[in-house]
Structure 1
Amino acid sequence: MLNKLKGLYVITDNVLTPKDTMLQQVEKALQGGAKIIQLRDKKNSDEDIEKEVIVLQNLCRSYRALFILNDRVELAMKLQCDGLHVGKSDYHRMKEIRTNFLGYLGVSCYGDIKKAKEMEYLGVDYVAFGSFFASSTKPNAAVVNTNVINEAKNILNIPICAIGGITTKNVSKLIEQKVDMVAVISDIWKSENIILKCEEFKKQLG
């Protein structure tokens, strides 16, 4: 089951992947080797994105990639999404989410290894740490030392995802720490050739 939780993890963005071009952009990322696609929509209602979720999930399945929905717990359960990712606003209900959601479950732990261990105990499938570099998507996010990955690797038995300001120029620092997944937004969507950019990441990730 966990063999899906490795490689290039690409996240959509309301500005960088607008509704009218998002599907084409995501397909290019998949063609370039993205293993995981997360729909992260901070603007629209569950009703507004329901069709997109279904289409994206089917697109990911056609490329044997994993689709993950960000934050929309009830929608993920309703549509039986392949994956769901949540943050600290849902920490208090993780036991309930894990009981009722049957797909892959990931959680953001920022720089908190103790919290990550607690989440592992509650049954999540992977944890995400970051921001590791200054991020234009989350300019106010605290920057976490890359050593966190190595420390977490010694304590956790589940895959680890790194996020935050990751580019093809700095990803090697995370690969050295044996990170399982790298989540990327800006460096992919702002590139002139999405396919080539994803291929470049894939080559480095091995």
Structure 2
Amino acid sequence: MYVIISSNLIKKPLVEVLYDVIKGGADAIQLREKTMSDSEFLVVAREVKKVAVELKTIFMVNDRIEIAKKVDADGVHIGQSDIDINTARKILGHNKIIGVSTHNIFQARIAQQSGADYIGVGPVFPTTTKDYEPPVGLDYLRQVKKETTIPFVAIGGINFNNIHKVLHAGGKRVAICSAIISTENILSVTRSFKNLLMA
């Protein structure tokens, strides 16, 4: 279970949210801040890194590779319009995780051939956090399951009402954002999602 953290979606202090999410069962967390300046982002990333180390959780940074390097994050997640995988490898080194967002099987094949450690598959459903990207649906998820050998993470609009569809289509790893971090009881909601995945 991969939880994406954006400060504009949380209702309580960041550190509190991190503790709840990780104690609830998140295996990895990604810090995604689209509008924050680099200097602000660096401060927040250092905070997240501290908690991730303490609670032994994978910490990924979205897009901002120089900050991922500065705070010694476990890896970086890049989109189709961001830096390419080979450049990311040169900056971060070969011992770090590089994930790539993909929206069709062509992009998934390229990401795998280029040496991505995992791919994001989505948005599976309509999502408000990335409303400029049309949903790709479950067929693409099934295609990825059939055709790729690297791990893949289903992402985009996943909640309690539709997660069973993702699991049914072969998605064993899911990335969740607002359905967890925008809720009042993050710990128990995270735990409920984790239990569904474990089952």
- Secondary structure at the aligned position of 2:8 is classed as coil
The answer for the alignment partner of 1:149 in structure 2 is: 141
Distance in 1 of aligned mates of 2:21 and 2:13: 13
Matches within 5 A, 1:96-107: 96-102=87-93, 103-107=96-100
Distance in 1 of aligned mates of 2:187 and 2:173: 18
- TM-score, scaled to structure 1: 0.89
Q: Which amino acid aligns with 2:31?
A: L
Distance in 2 of aligned mates of 1:40 and 1:65: 16
Q: Which amino acid aligns with 1:160?
A: F
- Secondary structure at the aligned position of 2:111 is classed as helix
Deviation at 1:129, TM superposition (A): 1.2
The answer for the alignment partner of 1:116 in structure 2 is: 108
How many residue pairs match? The answer is: 196
Distance in 1 of aligned mates of 2:74 and 2:172: 19
Deviation at 1:50, TM superposition (A): 1.4
Moved over 6 A (4+): none
- TM-score, scaled to structure 2: 0.91
Of residues 2, 6, 9, the one that matches 1:16 is 9
**Structure 1 runs not aligned, ≥5 long:** 1-7
Deviation at 1:130, TM superposition (A): 1.0
Distance in 1 of aligned mates of 2:132 and 2:152: 22
The answer for the alignment partner of 2:86 in structure 1 is: 95
**Structure 2 runs not aligned, ≥5 long:** none
The answer for the alignment partner of 1:46 in structure 2 is: 38
The answer for the alignment partner of 2:189 in structure 1 is: 197
Q: Which amino acid aligns with 1:36?
A: A
RMSD: 1.6
Q: Alpha-carbon deviations, 1:17-74, whole Å to 9, x = none?
A: 27x7111112111111111111001122222121321221221222221100001012
Q: Which amino acid aligns with 2:124?
A: F
Distance in 2 of aligned mates of 1:41 and 1:69: 9
